Every structure is written in C-alpha cells, then in structure tokens.
Amino acid sequence: MVFRLLIIALGLLPSGLVAAEDSSPAATNVDRLMRRVDLVTVHHVEAPSNQQMVLTLARAIYQARQEAPPLDLARQISKMNRTSDYRELLTTCLEASTNPSHASRFALQALRQSLPGDCIELPAKEYRVREQLAANQYVGIGIVLGKSGNIPTAMKVFPGGPLDRVGGRDGDQIWTIDGTDVRKEEISTIVDLLRGPRGTQLQVGLKHTGTSIVVEKKLTRDVVPLRGLRDAEILERTIAFLDVDHFQASITQELRALEPSLREKGVQALILDLRNLRPARVHDVILFADALLPGGEIGTLNGRVLKAGEDAMLKNLPLAVLVDQTTRGSLEWLAASLQQAKRAIVVGDVTPGEPWGYSGFEINGEESFLMLPSQQLGLPSGQLLVNFGSLTRLPRQIGRRSRERWGVAPDVWVGGEMLEKAMRTGFKADRVAVEQAKEALLEVLTRIPQ
Amino acid sequence: MKLFLATFVALIGGAAMADDLRIPLALELMENRETLIVGCKDGTLASIDTKLGRVRQMLEIGGSITDVKKVSDTELLATNFENGEVLRLQIRQGRAEIAERKKVGDFPVSLSVDPWKKRAYIIDKWRQRVISVRFSPTLELQGSCQLPFIPREQLLLANGKQLLVADAQGGNLAVLNADTLEIRSIRQLPAHNIRGLALNPDGDRIFISHQRLNPLARTTFDDIHWGMTMSNVVREIPVSAVLNPKTNLVDESRIWNLGTTGNGAGDPDDLSFLESDEIVIAVGGTGQIFWGKFGDTAPTRIATGARPTALAIDEFSERIYVSNSLEDRISVLDFDRKKVVGSIEIARKDLMISAAGRGQQLFFNARLSHDGWMSCHSCHTNGHTNEQLADTFGDRSFGTAKRIPSLLGRAQTAPFGWLGNKANLESQIEATLESTMHHNGGGFTAQQVEDLVAFLKSLPSPPRFEVTSAANRGKLLFRELNCVRCHSGTAFTRNDAFEVGVRDEDGNTEFNPPSLLGIRYQRSFFHDGRFTSLESIFTEGNHQLDRPLTSNQLRDLTEYLRSL
C-alpha cells in the first residue's frame, strides 16, 4: 500500500497513457509520429507492418479533422513501401488539419491503442523514477507527499530515510524548500523540487504538528529502500499469506530473508498474492522463478530456454499463488511456470494471456520513453501462454466469456457464483481466493507425511 | 610422465607468489596448544609461542608450504607444493625440525591424517590425484586415485573409512574408500570455489563453504546489489547423504546465505565448528571472520586483515587463530568477547610489497566490488577459472552468459574478452572493475590497475606434461588441419576475431580465439561451455574440420591439445 501511495504522491499514473509534450522544438509532428512507428517496428513483439500503422495514424488524423478518410486510403498505403512515402502522406494529412498538434496527439493515441498490450509514453523523468522504483533504488527524501489543510505535508515518513534521519515525523508540513515558500505550490511542483540525484542536498522548512515554529532541516537525497513484500499473515494450520505490494528487483532477496523467520514460526505452506500488481520486469521475475524452482526449465524468453538452478528457497513448503485478470505479462508467466513445474497451485481467475515483457525505449530527440511489449515469454512445454491450459478443466462460465485470449487456467477457479456466494456470507472479494488457496494447501498438507 | 617444471616455477594452488609476502596458508596447534605452526607459501614454517604471542622460529624450508596437519602433539606433516613432497617434522619446545622428506606427487596442496595416525592423504592438484601414504615408521607411498576434476580440499568421514574430496574450481564432490582409494561416488553441487569442509561435533553433518554464480543473473548494479549474481554460502548436508551414492545432495542440503544487502561476504574460506554449535568462517574477500549459528541472518563479523583463509581453534583456552594470508599476520580472537585480542606479525623485516604483490592483494579483495559480494578470485579461481558462466557486459550485451576464462599465462594473449574488444589488460581490467564488479564508490586508481596488471603478468601457465608420440602426431595434424590459422604462436591464439560457425543469443558470430595453453585443465569449451570434452568439440561440433577425423586422429589431436 505504501508503494501505491508513493506512486500517487509522485504524480505517476499506475497505468494507462501519459501524453508527452513535444519537448523538441525542431521536431515536426510527422517526425514524432514516425519515430514511434520505427520504435514499434523494431521492438514490439507483435508489431504491425509499417503500412498498417501509417493507416491507423492517417485514419485518426482524418477523424481528428472530423472528416471521413478517402475510400482508397488503405489501397494507397498498401502500395507504399518507402519511409518518404509514409512521411509525405502523413504530412499531407496533417497540413489539412486546423490544429496539427492536436491531430498528431490524437493519432498517436489511436496508434498506441491499436497495438497488442499496453503502449505507454512517459516523460523521461517519470520513466527514470519508474526504473528506480523497479530496481528498489528510488532516490528521494523518504516521504509520501500529500496535502493537509491545503499545505504540502509529509503524510508518511519512511523509517531510516533522509527526512527521518533529521527528525522528520508523519504529518510534518513542508513550508519552504531551499528558502522558497512552497505552501501554495501544486504537488507536482513540490515533487520536482524534492527530487534530485543521490547525494545532492536541499533545505526544507518543516512545521511539526502542534507547533507553530518552522524548523529548517538540511537533507541529503538518498536511496529509500521500499519493501515489496508485506508482513506475512499467519492463517490456519500455520499457512502464511504473503501479499506482494510491488514486484521489484529486491523481491527474491526479501523472500529469502524472510524464510528463516517463517520456518521459525513453523509455517508449513505459503500463499503468494500476485494480483493487482503492475507488470514486473521480466528479469526480476526470471530470478524469482529461478529461486523457487529446484532445477528444470522456467520457460522461454524470445525462444531461448531458461533453466533454473538446482538450489531452491522455501524447499518443502507447498505454495499457492493467487492470480486474476490483473495478473499480467511476466507475472502470469511466473504463475504458469510454477504451475507447470508443479511447484505451486494456482488459485483465482484466469489471467489475460499477455505473455510479454515490457521495456522502455528512448524516443530520439525527445525527453520521453515509449514502454511496450518487447519480450515474448513461453512455457517450458513449448506452449505459448495464450490459451494455455485445458478448456475442459475450466468451469462453463469461462467459455461463456468468449475471450479472444486468456492465459493461466487456475487449478482452483474462483469466480462467478462461488464468488458471489462467498461474498454473501461476509467474505471480501479479494479474500475469497485466499480462503480457497488455504483450503487447497490444507489438502496438500494432509497428503504429506509428517 | 615427466614435467616441464621450468615453465612452472612458483604456482601454488593456482596463484603465483609475489616474492615479498610470506603468505601464511595453514595453521596447526601443537604441544598442548602452546605452539602454533604456520605454513607459508614462501616456504617458511613459522613456530609461534601462543602464550607469549611471539614467533619462536622461522624455519626456511624452501618451496611452498601449502598445508600442515598434526600427527601427534609433537609430530607434523606438511605439503610442499613446489618440491612435490611431504615433510615430516618434529616439534620440540616450540622448534620444528625436519625428520623426513618424501617425494609425493607433483603439486600437493592439502593433507589429512587418519584417526589412527597410520595413514595420510595428499591431494596432488594439477595431477588430479589423491595419494595415500603410510607411516611404517617412515613414509611409504601406498596408493593413488585419479579424479576427473582438479581437487583441492578433503575431509575424512565415517571414522576415517571414507574420504571426501572437493573440487578446486567447480562443484564436484567425490567420496573415496579411504582404504583402497576406490571412487564410491562423484556428485556435483551447484557450487564453485569450495574452500571449507567441516564436521559438526556430533559428526553427522558436513558444512561446506562455497560460492554460487547465477548464470541467469547479470553483473548489473541491481543484481549485484540485491545479492542475485554471486552468493556466498555455507551448505549443510547430512553425512549419511554424502555416504550414500544414490542420494541427491542438493535435495538434502540446507543453505546459509552469508552476506546481506549492503554488506556482502565475498569468498568464504576455511570454517570450523565450535562445541557451542556455532560456526566460525574465514571470509577471505572481506577480511572478516563470521561467527554465528547456522542460518543466523546477522552473524557477528570481526575484521581481522587481508584475506583470512585458515583457522585454528583452541577450545580449551577459548582462542581462535586466523591467518591473514595477504598481510603476513595472525589474528587472535577471543571466544567471550568475540573480538580480536591479539596480533602476531610474521612478515619479513623491511617488507616492501611489489606491484605484483599489491595486485595480488587487490585480486583477492572483495571490497573492490559493490558491497563486497565478490573479488576477481571469485570468478578467476586463484587466477584460473571457476568453470562457470557469467552474464557480464564484456560482450556488450546481457542475456548471453559466457564461460569464464582462465587467466593463467594469458597476460600476453591480447586482445581480451570473448569478442576481442579489449586491446590490452589495462582496458580489460578497467571494464571489469566498472561494469562487472561495480567498484565501490565508482573510483579506482591507475596505480591499482597497474598493480593488477603486474599480478596477472606474474601468473604462469598451468604445468605442461611431456609430449608423447601420440601428441607429436597430433601436432602434425594440428598444422595439417590449419588450426594455426586461429591458434598460433606460443600462446596459441591470434589478435583478431574469427567466425567459427557458432552464434550466441545476441547474434555475435565472431570470437577471439581463446589461448589453448592449459586447455587440459578446462572442463567446458567455447564461449557458452557447450562442449564438455575436448573430443566432443570435434565429434559433435565438427569444429573447423574439412573432413571427419578417424578415431586415431582424434586421439592424437586431443592428446596434443592436452600437452599444451
């Protein structure tokens, strides 16, 4: 939860589209469009042809102009095979627009939406913060920023962080930064002022709750380590429930560090919640799977077979992972890999079937990055994650959804009438899968000789 | 087979010796714990009065003392690597005297003495042998056993009836019948640099210190920071599992990860079990002693000195002696206070450490890496190789793990790196410190690089053996097949990259031909270790052959390669 608060406090959108402003004065709108087409062509795992993308862009420009495209537009483009032809066509389309910048942005949005998976454009500084967070190397002063009484406030001060080290407390109001009064500034402005490279200094004027004096504190920006795993909740028969707050680079190390205390508590089985998470970096997921699997294949990455090392953590502890439609990309691949290796029971709803890993690519000449699916993930059996599993094993409700693609078929399905019934008896929706996983693990434990 | 020892002068345990440091490698308490014997790589045997904490005697034996083991309270065996001999010494009133010298093997590196004091076992490293000698009453050679890996450490089990022998580079563990030296099992752990073998006081569990390099992890800052790339561990395995050849040792293992985020534990070495059920581990790379119970997340760390590698435990006086091998100093630790309470210098007077000596200190120093997770030695074991794959940025990409090459005798084989993209040793070392080890603080000095270069230049090639008639025929075939197109000169390499019909995952097809010197000491070949024998390079890989080889030609050619 802390991580999600931080994301919001930093002004980052958890997902979806962020329109980047054109930060390069020299860049023409057509240049901007074609740079993205080129990046998609080179890096997207299911890239459409250039002609398809140009057609999407041209149609969207006509739509922005509130005009119907020519009937032979597709035919015209299908005859083109040179970049100069595409550029000429798009230039013509945009020149006829009364607001070419608006039409260009509209066209880019249409292009991104037409691509399989998410295609997100981020200003460079936001992208770098995301990377810092994914690596658990976020640099800051260690607070969750918000407003109280319309004044910028450290809603939470992270223990051990730079502000904590100089005596900052939860609820402290931030009145000045480097001598400037910031009380009336927007959150995004304050975020910009607080951010900076590791080791750089700033001076903050703080007003503690219940006092009237503003105290000046000198801070050094530093890495603020965040926990990706929340505290283990011990359920019946010492089954531990581990909620993943953020799947980050430190996740394997966090679980490894937790293992001795879990064993000390007599934990016999584990539930790992992979729901409601942002897509994780493929590399971090590979290392996590490697740490859990006692040898064998993890799966494939762009066709290359990945083999797990023989040593495994949480050895002899049965495992269940919770999944649903929010378990996407590399995380549904992780669930499928653990399921295929019979290392985990998968509990929950079917996953979306997006077997891709995401990477960010710098857009030349612009201070922004394009994040798109760039890695194809496959299963050890050679199967693709799409339409993985046996349909006959799934309840009828799944079939009725008539999805075009779906991913991991859970071993214990949670949804439909079962979910409704459980919720009627007082369970919160997200706890139903936890209960089901617990039941499944209890059954596994009865089969293990003590 | 005779040895060309002229080409191999001062190689001990794989690493060349800087001629200025003594390098204490082995410790043994004698004479009711009043005398501490220290075997040094420079051929000195130091005798220390433990009560006074002073050196009593420096016995200049010559050669290189690699191990010392007690036979009785006044009798000691020592291995001399350079001379290929075992020495029998009498210790009286703190003074050592050589009683017998016996030629045993060619490269003895470790010793063990059976519980009945009737027999001793010697590891002959480069010869890949275990040799047994009998006391009757002089030393007599009894038998030997050839191993398919380069051995180093050993431990007697089952009341001296079985001998456990560990790999010097990779993760092989062999169990031998101690009577007959017959191999009972050879199994492999996911491990390298096995340096410590110890039993718990009950004798039912073995503890092994070693490292693990994850080929899926990268040498990025993130992976190293979170301890994903190099693990430094103590592994516990029941003795019953080790003795049963059918048991999967990994299944039966428990792992104690040493080091935490922000504070690594590069190069765990010797370890000992105390009666208190605590384990003491010399962590060579960080210059510390770790002290705690198995699995402790925060064991006590005690800084001792440069590269502690050997321990001697005095339970009665509650003292631990630690050899800081690259500082010529013995640290004395106290049980109660868990801290250093004394220090005994054994260094030469007016010691001046040469550039190669300073380079050696850097080579074994894990503090050169981010948070101390690994040293150069962690991958290039004593200058050789740990036989693992590492995903570094040396090939300008990640995701294409490459075999770690040996550095022995390779200083003159520029260019460096699998793609041959580093023109000289300096640029290779700088790239390694920056992008592989993520040197702490981001800065290293030109002097440090120069010192490392000097050390690498001091590393000779591994020993070569006499050229047989088959090898002579193989030499002609080597020329006839035009192998010299890529593997030429005295180092059997070229300063260019060549297409050899293989492609890595990143699409690279041209590789700098690796030197063939010491190729007999490799267990895998090509950039990704795809071949596991010299023969398979030709039978499976058809490497640069314009025609199939007959079985005789294959034998001759591989025999020649093994002679290099």
The shortest C-alpha distance from A252 to chain B (Å) reads 8
pTM of the shown model: 0.89
For chain B, say whether A286 makes contact (Cβ under 8 Å).
yes
DSSP A237: G
Q: Give CA–CA dist B392/B370, Å, rounded.
A: 15
CB contact at 8 A, A275 and A430 = yes
Q: Hunting for tokens 């930093």 — which residue is that?
A: A10
In tens, the pLDDT along A182-202 reads: 999 999 899 989 988 899 999
Return all residues near A169 (Cβ < 8 A) that are at least 6 apart. Answer: A154, A157, A208, A209
CB contact at 8 A, B44 and B80 = no
Among A249, A256, A290, the residue with its CB nearest the CB of B222 is: A249
Tell me the one-letter amino acid at A436: Q
For chain B, say whether A304 makes contact (Cβ under 8 Å).
yes
The shortest C-alpha distance from B222 to chain A (Å) reads 6
The shortest C-alpha distance from A37 to chain B (Å) reads 24
Least confident of A43-52, B491-500, B545-554: B491-500
Q: Bin A266: left if φ > 0, else alpha if -120 < ψ < 50, else beta.
A: left
The shortest C-alpha distance from B227 to chain A (Å) reads 7
Q: Hunting for tokens 């050229």 — which residue is that?
A: B467
Helix (H) or strand (E) holding A129: helix A124-134
Q: Give CA–CA dist B502/A355, Å, rounded.
A: 29
CA atoms within 13 A on the CB side of B332: 19
Which among B522, B532, B467 is positioned nearest to B128, based on CA atoms? B522
> Are A137 and B222 a contacting pair at CB < 8 A?
yes
Tell me the one-letter amino acid at B500: V
Q: pLDDT class for B19, splitting at 50, 70, 90?
A: low
In tens, the pLDDT along A430-450 reads: 889 999 999 999 999 988 766
> Are B295 and A256 a contacting pair at CB < 8 A?
no
**Residue in B with minimal Cα distance to A308:** B216
> Are B222 and A253 a contacting pair at CB < 8 A?
no
CB contact at 8 A, B428 and B419 = no
Bridging pattern class, strands A319-323 and A344-348: parallel
- Residue B338's pLDDT is what? 95
Q: Bin B277: left if φ > 0, else alpha if -120 < ψ < 50, else beta.
A: left
Tell me the mean pLDDT in the region B52-61: 95
State phi, psi for B189 to the nearest 5 degrees. -100, 155
Q: pLDDT class for B541, splitting at 50, 70, 90?
A: confident
**Residue in B with minimal Cα distance to A264:** B295
CB contact at 8 A, B50 and B204 = no
Tell me the one-letter amino acid at B495: N
The shortest C-alpha distance from B244 to chain A (Å) reads 19
Q: Which residues of A touch B190 (CB under 8 A)?
A: 309-311
Q: Which residues of A touch B257 (CB under 8 A)?
A: 256
For chain B, say whether A160 makes contact (Cβ under 8 Å).
no
Tell me the mean pLDDT in the region B67-92: 95
CB contact at 8 A, A53 and A119 = no
Q: Give CA–CA dist B273/B200, Å, rounded.
A: 6
Q: At what angle do helices A416-424 and A429-447 cross, to 10 degrees?
A: 100
> Are A257 and B227 a contacting pair at CB < 8 A?
no
**Residue in A with minimal Cα distance to B218:** A283
Other residues' Cβ atoms within 10 Å of the Cβ of residue B202: 9
Which among A192, A196, A139, A142 is positioned nearest to A172, based on CA atoms? A142
Return all residues near A425 (Cβ < 8 A) that are at least 6 apart. Answer: none
Q: pLDDT class for B350, splitting at 50, 70, 90?
A: confident
Which among B274, B293, B271 is positioned nearest to B283, based on CA atoms? B271
> Are B228 and A287 a contacting pair at CB < 8 A?
yes
For chain B, say whether A276 makes contact (Cβ under 8 Å).
no
Among B212, B225, B228, the residue with its CB nearest the CB of A252 is: B228
> Are B223 and A249 a contacting pair at CB < 8 A?
yes
The shortest C-alpha distance from A79 to chain B (Å) reads 33
Q: How many CB pairs under 8 A join A and B?
A: 49
Question: Higher-confidence residue: A139 or B20?
Answer: A139
Question: Higher-confidence residue: A172 or B1?
Answer: A172
C-alpha distance from residue A215 to each of A179, A203, A208 (Å): 12, 10, 8
Q: Hunting for tokens 């739509």 — which residue is that?
A: A63
- Residue A404's pLDDT is what? 52
> Are A260 and B212 a contacting pair at CB < 8 A?
no
Tell me the mean pLDDT in the region A116-132: 91
Other residues' Cβ atoms within 10 Å of the Cβ of residue A130: 20
What mean pLDDT value characterizes chain B?
91
Q: Is residue B257 pLDDT above 80, yes or no?
A: yes
CA atoms within 13 A on the CB side of B461: 22
Prediction ipTM score: 0.89
Q: In what order do the strands lie in the sheet with B183-188?
A: B151-157, B162-167, B172-177, B183-188
Return all residues near A421 (Cβ < 8 A) that are at least 6 apart. Answer: none
Q: Which of B222, B232, B250 to mutate to test the interface with A (most CBs of A within 10 A)?
A: B222
Among A137, A225, A310, the residue with its CB nearest the CB of B250 is: A310
CB contact at 8 A, B169 and B191 = no
Return all residues near A6 (Cβ < 8 A) that are at least 6 apart. Answer: A133, A138, A144, A226
Q: Is residue A52 pLDDT above 60, yes or no?
A: yes
In tens, the pLDDT along B309-337 reads: 999 999 999 999 999 999 999 999 999 99
In tens, the pLDDT along B190-237 reads: 999 999 999 999 999 999 999 999 999 999 999 999 999 999 999 999
A127-A131-A135 Cα angle (round to 5): 170
> Are B217 and A256 a contacting pair at CB < 8 A?
no
- Measured between its terminal Cα atoms, the distance across chain B in Å is 14
For chain B, say whether A198 makes contact (Cβ under 8 Å).
no
Q: Which residues of B touch A252 (CB under 8 A)?
A: 226, 228
CB contact at 8 A, B397 and B391 = no
State phi, psi for A135 to the nearest 5 degrees. -85, 0
> Are B297 and A260 a contacting pair at CB < 8 A?
yes
**The dihedral formed by the CA atoms of B171, B176, B182 and B184, expressed in degrees to the nearest 10:** -70
Which chain B residues touch A if contact means CB-CB below 8 Å? 190, 212, 214, 216-218, 222-223, 225-228, 250-251, 253, 255, 257, 260-261, 295, 297, 399, 505
Bridging pattern class, strands B300-303 and B308-314: unpaired
Chain-centroid distance, C-alpha B49: 30
The shortest C-alpha distance from A428 to chain B (Å) reads 35
Among B222, B227, B253, the residue with its CB nearest the CB of A135 is: B222
CB contact at 8 A, A271 and A243 = no
Count Cβ atoms within 10 A of the Cβ of residue A287 and give its class: 0-12 exposed, 13-18 middle, 19 or more buried.
buried
- Residue A388's pLDDT is what? 59
DSSP B517: T
Return all residues near B547 (Cβ < 8 A) that are at least 6 apart. Answer: none
Helix (H) or strand (E) holding A94: helix A83-95
CA atoms within 13 A on the CB side of B253: 21
C-alpha distance from residue A15 to each of A7, A121, A122, B551 (Å): 11, 10, 11, 63
Identify which of A137-141, A267-271, B523-527 has the greatest average pLDDT.
Answer: A267-271
Other residues' Cβ atoms within 10 Å of the Cβ of residue B252: 15
Q: Which of A131, A139, A252, A253 to mutate to test the interface with B (most CBs of B within 10 A)?
A: A253
Residues 219-248 of A with CB under 8 A from B: 225
Among A137, A306, A311, the residue with its CB nearest the CB of B216 is: A306
Q: Take residue A423 and report the two structure tokens written for it.
A: 């919720």
- Residue B11's pLDDT is what? 42
State phi, psi for B249 to the nearest 5 degrees. -70, -30
Q: pLDDT class for A5, splitting at 50, 70, 90?
A: very low
Q: Bin B514: left if φ > 0, else alpha if -120 < ψ < 50, else beta.
A: beta
**Residue in A with minimal Cα distance to B222:** A135
Tell me the one-letter amino acid at A142: G
In tens, the pLDDT along B155-172 reads: 999 899 999 999 999 999
For chain B, say whether A287 makes contact (Cβ under 8 Å).
yes
CB contact at 8 A, A423 and A416 = no
C-alpha distance from residue A33 to each of A47, A72, A89, A170, B464 (Å): 15, 22, 12, 45, 64
Q: Take residue B401 and report the two structure tokens written for it.
A: 């793990």
- Residue B386's pLDDT is what? 95
Q: Give CA–CA dist B230/B257, Å, rounded.
A: 11
Q: Is residue A7 pLDDT above 50, yes or no?
A: no
Share of chain A above pLDDT 90, in %: 65
Which among B269, B280, B342, B273 is positioned nearest to B308, based on CA atoms? B269
Among A249, A260, A310, the residue with its CB nearest the CB of B226 is: A249
Q: Is residue A17 pLDDT above 90, yes or no?
A: no
Return all residues near A66 (Cβ < 8 A) that are at least 6 apart. Answer: none
Size of chain A, expressed as the number of residues it contains: 450
DSSP A117: S
Return all residues near B359 (Cβ < 8 A) that are at least 6 apart. Answer: B18, B451, B452, B453, B454, B455, B456, B458
DSSP A393: G
